[in-house]
Structure 1
Amino acid sequence: MGSDFSKVGCFHFPTMDKRNLDTLRNYLRNYNPPVGCGDCINILLFGMVGAGKSSIINTFLSALDPQGTTITCVPTGMNPQSLTKELMSYRAGSLKFWDSAGWNALENADRANTVLRMILEGRVPKGTNLHSFNPDSDSNYPVIPENVIHGVALIFNIDIIGCISDDKMKEFQKFQTVVAEKYIHRVVIGTKFELLGIPEKHNAWIYEYKSLQQKFENLAAFTGMERRSIFVVSNQWRGGQIEMIKCILALYVLDNMVRNIDRLLKAVK
């Protein structure tokens, strides 16, 4: 494949063909959560402002569509009018994706930790403005069973991972601790890998690319997650249909999350 590729440290080898696309899509579209867990599993996307949380939800919804039709129902962009302020959810079959405010947008880090914990526990109603949400006690916000989070995707702009300040890193480590204490399955998703200069024709071997593997090392050090739990998703596509390779990259992450969440849910029954 040339000197730009290396399989050393590569953990992901998704098959980039239509057969695998159909297999992934069919499994996820027909997935049924374990008995007693409700009619869907809840996946929270959590990251900094501008990391691509909302865009990834659009990508997931598009990839899950039978024809891969591009779906843009989630507002995206850095315009103040499109920045996520409320806790919102978007459902595709038995998968429900939760969009939240950027963790660095909430003024008080301790309050942000409390809000995150309450979201994970299903105590924050859908549509709540997270910037103004400041509960006095948990008793005012009982658990909403259908809102309990089963999996967390930690979203990072992979191009700027080395530029995050030490203070923000410490804040994130506290958030990471909150999630870890709940024994919730979590993965890291890197966005905007297109900015690394990897030719689009090489996206089928994206995980074997040296420059991406270096970013994975940075993400692993920053998040404390193993590289096998770090993935990439593209939020860029052309026209009204998402390309096959970009569909597979998105569905490959979801497949990993759903199978692990399913295993955890069954283990606690």
Structure 2
Amino acid sequence: MGNRSSSPEPQHGSSPPPAPLLTTPWREITWGNKEELLQYIKNFEPQNEEVEAIRVLLHGPVGAGKSSFINSANNVLQGRMTQEALANNTTNDNSFTKEYKTHTFKKEKGKENVYPFVFNDVMGLEEGNGVRADDIKLALKGHVMDGYKFNPVSPLSDVDPGYNSSPSISDRVHVLVCIYDANAPEMKQPVLKKMREIREAASDLGIPQMAILTHIDEACGETERNLRNVYKSTYLKKKMRDFSSSLGIPMNCILPVKNYSDETQMNPDVDDLILSALRLMVDFGDDYADKL
């Protein structure tokens, strides 16, 4: 094995430190596998015929990259740069996403048919503000209507216009995905408490959960130099283990990705990581939906 010595914690926005690399990757991934993964996604259909689309709910701290991940997934599916979800590149503590919005993905350019899975983005989790855990709990059960504007002061109630009193199987969330920035400083306890509360609610409903670790290039110099070093990076492995311990999500349900940010052209290594995450999401969600 390679050197396992620890690296200094990077400051958010600074150049990533060089991280010691393992001689062999601690997790196997087949690079250059984009076409096979993409074909799997294109052929995917929910097992439960009553389910129109597998619903993936993304949540996490402000600035973790939820909207950017939606755009990155759409880039890969469309084979070009897109802007499906508006994303904010400024550094502040306020959530850019304000509404509960369902994002669909077109299968072919110029045609109306869409992939049988959707993403829902929510307002970021903040200390004292942001989306309320109660609202996400309602979303898990399908009670939040598309377009509902989150109110950090007051949770959604059954008398509000944005409340769906009779959710269908397709309205319910089938997989909960936490998006977390690998380059972020230590998570504040109030935010972590919210995330644990949401995770417990999902567990009570039997909803599968996973996590996406974003900004892996900014967090680790060796990964920035070569994305294929992601599973050789001792720093990123430690970051994932720490996150797994703090939130309780198993390591094999945490996937590192690099969102499209600086690029103007597609990158096959970026695509491989995003498609690997996307496949796990639809598989987990499909298994849950099949039981409903």
Q: TM-score, normalised by structure 2?
A: 0.80
**Which whole-Å CA distance do the structure 1 matches of 2:214 and 2:47 have between them?**
31
> Counterpart in 1 of 2:144?
124
CA contact (8 A) 2:142 2:164 kept: no
Give 1:171 deviation, angstroms: 2.6
CA contact (8 A) 2:218 2:224 kept: no
Identical positions, percent: 22
Give 1:113 deviation, angstroms: 2.5
Deviations 1:35-66 (A, max 9, x none): 3342211101101111110000001111122x
> Counterpart in 1 of 2:210?
187
Q: How does 1:180-219 map to 2 (within 5 A)?
A: 180-196=203-219, 197-219=221-243
1:141 to 2:141 alignment: no
Of 67, 85, 97, 2:119 maps to: 97
Q: Which segment is superposed worse, 231-240 or 170-179? A: 231-240
Of 200, 204, 211, 1:177 maps to: 200
Deviations 1:5-24 (A, max 9, x none): 227893x322111xx21111
Give 1:233 deviation, angstroms: 1.5
Of 85, 100, 112, 1:87 maps to: 100
CA contact (8 A) 2:56 2:285 kept: no
- Taking only aligned residues, the RMSD between alpha carbons, in angstroms, comes to 2.7
1:230 to 2:254 alignment: yes
**Cα distance change of structure 1 residues 108 and 59 upon mapping to structure 2, 3 Å threshold:** closer
> Counterpart in 2 of 1:154?
178
**Which whole-Å CA distance do the structure 2 matches of 1:227 and 1:8 have between them?**
18
- Aligned AA for 1:26? Q
> Counterpart in 1 of 2:86?
75
Give 1:84 deviation, angstroms: 0.2
**Which whole-Å CA distance do the structure 2 matches of 1:7 and 1:88 have between them?**
43
- Aligned AA for 2:31? M
**Cα distance change of structure 1 residues 119 and 211 upon mapping to structure 2, 3 Å threshold:** same
- Aligned AA for 1:160? A
- Aligned AA for 2:22? S
1:22 to 2:45 alignment: no
SS of the aligned residue for 1:59 comes to helix
**Which whole-Å CA distance do the structure 1 matches of 2:197 and 2:136 have between them?**
11
**Which whole-Å CA distance do the structure 2 matches of 1:41 and 1:199 have between them?**
32
> Counterpart in 1 of 2:133?
113
**Which whole-Å CA distance do the structure 2 matches of 1:142 and 1:30 have between them?**
33
CA contact (8 A) 2:125 2:191 kept: no
1:249 to 2:273 alignment: yes
Runs of 5+ unmatched residues, structure 2: 4-19, 106-114
SS of the aligned residue for 1:208 comes to coil
Give 1:170 deviation, angstroms: 2.2
- Aligned AA for 2:62? V
Deviations 1:105-140 (A, max 9, x none): 77388xx22211111111111000012663334896
> Counterpart in 1 of 2:52?
39
> Counterpart in 2 of 1:164?
187
Give 1:32 deviation, angstroms: 0.7
Deviations 1:177-211 (A, max 9, x none): 11211111111111111122224442123122111
**Cα distance change of structure 1 residues 78 and 201 upon mapping to structure 2, 3 Å threshold:** closer
Q: TM-score, normalised by structure 1?
A: 0.86
CA contact (8 A) 2:25 2:231 kept: no
**Cα distance change of structure 1 residues 116 and 238 upon mapping to structure 2, 3 Å threshold:** closer
**Cα distance change of structure 1 residues 69 and 165 upon mapping to structure 2, 3 Å threshold:** same
**Cα distance change of structure 1 residues 264 and 69 upon mapping to structure 2, 3 Å threshold:** same
**Cα distance change of structure 1 residues 126 and 69 upon mapping to structure 2, 3 Å threshold:** same
Deviations 1:78-107 (A, max 9, x none): 558980000011112112011110122773
**Cα distance change of structure 1 residues 165 and 106 upon mapping to structure 2, 3 Å threshold:** closer
